Amino acid sequence: MLLAFIAIIAGLVLLVWSSDKFVDGAVGLAEGLGMSKAMIGLTIVALGTSAPEIVVSIMAALAESPELAFGNAVGSNIANIGLVLGVTALIAALPVSPGLLKQDLPALLAVTAAAGFLCSDHTLSQQDGWAMMVMLLLLMYLMFRYKKEHKDEIISPESEEDIPDLGMKESVFWFILGTTILIGSSRLLVWGAIEVATALQISEVVIGLTIVAIGTSLPELAASVASALRRHHDIALGNIIGSNILNLLAVLSAGAVIYPIEISQQNFLRDYGAMTGITLLLAVFIFWPRKNRQLSKPEGAVLLIGYLGYLGFLYQQTVTA
């Protein structure tokens, strides 16, 4: 089992590194082909930040372990809100932009409800997966239109501001290298996760909800904390909400279109329910009427405590049971 843990750690490290290089290369290629920075930020960079979760989901489905894909997507959403936003808000209160109120958060709530409806029969079929991908394309189109019409209300994502300036040859090199290592590291991570789940006699869903989800959320945590310490914390909320939308419509669907995902009643009620609950709690904090709309430090503490409580409940149910 030691080898499996080493595979998980090595897989996560290489996954994070290669996803950055993949995005850099893809962005350079897109710029070389004449794509605007706004479109690059909304498509390639946005999807690229979720590349680790997407590729892990695909590899899990190819390994006929779709439960790992479900745990990865749902667990990442819970960790993004409870861990990433909770810790970041404890460092500095996070301001809420008008665009987030009018577009991003309502979109996340709608996507959470729609994905929950598709999962409610305890099977996410291939048809459900394709339907979620269509929803993703439609949502990206609507968000692009909104962004063009309300430029003054929208805070540019950090990823869009940091689009690299690479030559075509360098872009091709990093794109190919990043893609290759991204695929290889995700296979390594999935193998390690399956081996650990088998050795400990716990479900692959739990491994996806914890080790894999937290591991793939660490880059967002590091970036958000660093931004807060530099007082560039005005984009953290938008980035996390966008990531959570992609986790449901891209990560979850990517696994389902390859191999249907069977979702037990316990996993749906406990885990999807926990994700829905913490998403609604975030919405209450953000929509709560006040003079300065922000996610405050006490609210960040509540989110973090809620996340730790969920992990404790998960541990009690799976390890001590």
The domains of the chain are located at 2-318
For position 73, what pLDDT does the model report?
A: 92
SS3 assignment, position 261: strand
Q: What is the spatial distance between Cα 70 and Cα 132, in angstroms, rounded to a whole number?
A: 14
pLDDT in tens, 128-152: 999 999 999 998 888 777 766 765 5
- pLDDT over 50 (residue 24): yes
Give the chain's mean pLDDT: 84
Superfamily of domain 2-318: NCX, central ion-binding region (1.20.1420.30)
Report the percent of the chain where pLDDT is more than 70.
Answer: 87
Residue 155 pLDDT class (50, 70, 90 cuts): very low
pTM here is: 0.83
pLDDT by residue (tens digit) across 191-214?
888 888 888 888 888 888 988 888
pLDDT one-digit tens code per residue, 228-240: 777 766 667 877 8
Taking only Cα atoms into account, the Rg of the chain, rounded to an integer number of angstroms, comes to 19
> Which residue stretches of the chain are H helix?
2-32, 37-40, 46-49, 51-62, 66-79, 86-91, 98-99, 105-119, 126-149, 158-161, 168-200, 204-207, 213-229, 236-246, 253-256, 265-266, 273-287, 297-318
Q: Is the pLDDT of residue 280 over 90?
A: yes
- What are the CB-based long-range contacts (under 8 Å, 24+) for 304-308? 304/82, 304/83, 304/86, 304/87, 304/90, 305/86, 306/82, 306/86, 306/278, 306/281, 307/78, 307/79, 307/81, 307/82, 307/83, 307/86, 307/278, 308/82
Residue of 78, 13, 8 whose CA lies nearest to 222: 13
On the question of pLDDT at 182 being above 90, the answer is no
